[in-house]
Chain A
Amino acid sequence: MFRSYPTRPLPLPSLRSLLPALLGLAVLSLSNGCATTSSTAAPPTALQSFDSLYAGAVTAESLAINTTTAAVTSKLISPAQGQQILSVTDAIQALLAAANAAAQLGNTATANANLAKALGSIAIISACLTAKPLTVATFGACTAKLTAPAVQS
């Protein structure tokens, strides 16, 4: 009944494609407060493990949540909009957990698909939070089509 899966590392090329998304999130975050700051990170050249991308995605999600918290506290967005982001980020966290579990089992395709969906949703949230001006109306328009992503198995 218990099936054994290979534990070899995920192939680099497939995961490498997700690195620009993480960098994009970092740049988006930088542009939020420091429009003139330039990123000094070199273009991604290699990737050794899934764990770094996973940890990076979780951290990027935390950054988006922290920014949402600040926006709610500052009344730039409504509590209902904050709740919407909370629901979506809960779904994103489920995606990341599924991606990590799949990676540990050597299921590259599922790991990649879930990680990519998670990063896509984080990118949308980050973009909406960095829209200028950030108001209840602009945030509502930006997140109108934002839905909780579903885990791919």
Chain B
Amino acid sequence: MTAEAILALITAGAQALPSLLALFQKASSGTAVTPAEVAAALSGYETARAGLVAAIAAAETPSAGGTA
């Protein structure tokens, strides 16, 4: 695994991990989440899904930068 790939994976994890931990801590402490937090989680899911769809499409598309 290249350093670039490791960095990409770490970055992907770091984006969602803080909110995941915050929600877990709330669940642990018995603090109710707000509707806005639930909406934010769903919005994050939609964004993540769109990102994966785009990544798959890009990976399936032959590179336009090839030699002629």
Interface residues, chain A, with chain B CB atoms under 8 Å away: 19, 22-23, 25-26, 29-30, 32-34, 41-49, 51-56, 58-63, 65-76, 78-79, 82-83, 85-86, 89-90, 93, 129, 132-134
Interface size on B, residues (CB 8 A): 46
Interface residues, chain B, with chain A CB atoms under 8 Å away: 1-2, 4-6, 8-17, 19-21, 23-33, 37-38, 41-42, 44-45, 47-49, 51-53, 55-56, 58-60
A interface, over-half SS: helix
| Known contacts A59-B20, A75-B59, A79-B59; A66/B29 CB under 8 A | no
Contact of B41 among A30, A59, A90 (CB under 8 A): A59
When C-beta atoms are compared, the residue in chain A nearest to B38 turns out to be A55
When C-beta atoms are compared, the residue in chain B nearest to A60 turns out to be B20
Q: In angstroms, how far is the closest chain A Cβ from the Cβ of B28?
A: 4
Once the chains are docked, how many angstroms separate the CA of A28 from the CA of B23? 16
Q: In angstroms, how far is the closest chain A Cβ from the Cβ of B1?
A: 6
> Please, could you name 17 A-B residue pairs with CB atoms under 8 Å apart, sorted by A?
A26-B20, A29-B17, A51-B33, A53-B27, A54-B38, A55-B33, A55-B37, A58-B45, A62-B41, A66-B13, A66-B51, A69-B51, A74-B4, A74-B8, A86-B49, A129-B9, A132-B1
Q: By the criterion CB–CB under 8 Å, are A33 and B52 in contact? A: no
| Known contacts A63-B20, A70-B12; A85/B31 CB under 8 A | no
Q: Which residues on B sit within 8 Å (CB–CB) of A43?
A: 28
Q: By the criterion CB–CB under 8 Å, are A65 and B51 in contact? A: yes
- Report how many A-B pairs have Cβ atoms within 8 Å: 171
Q: Which residues on B sit within 8 Å (CB–CB) of A55?
A: 23, 33, 37-38, 41
Q: By the criterion CB–CB under 8 Å, are B56 and A79 in contact? A: yes
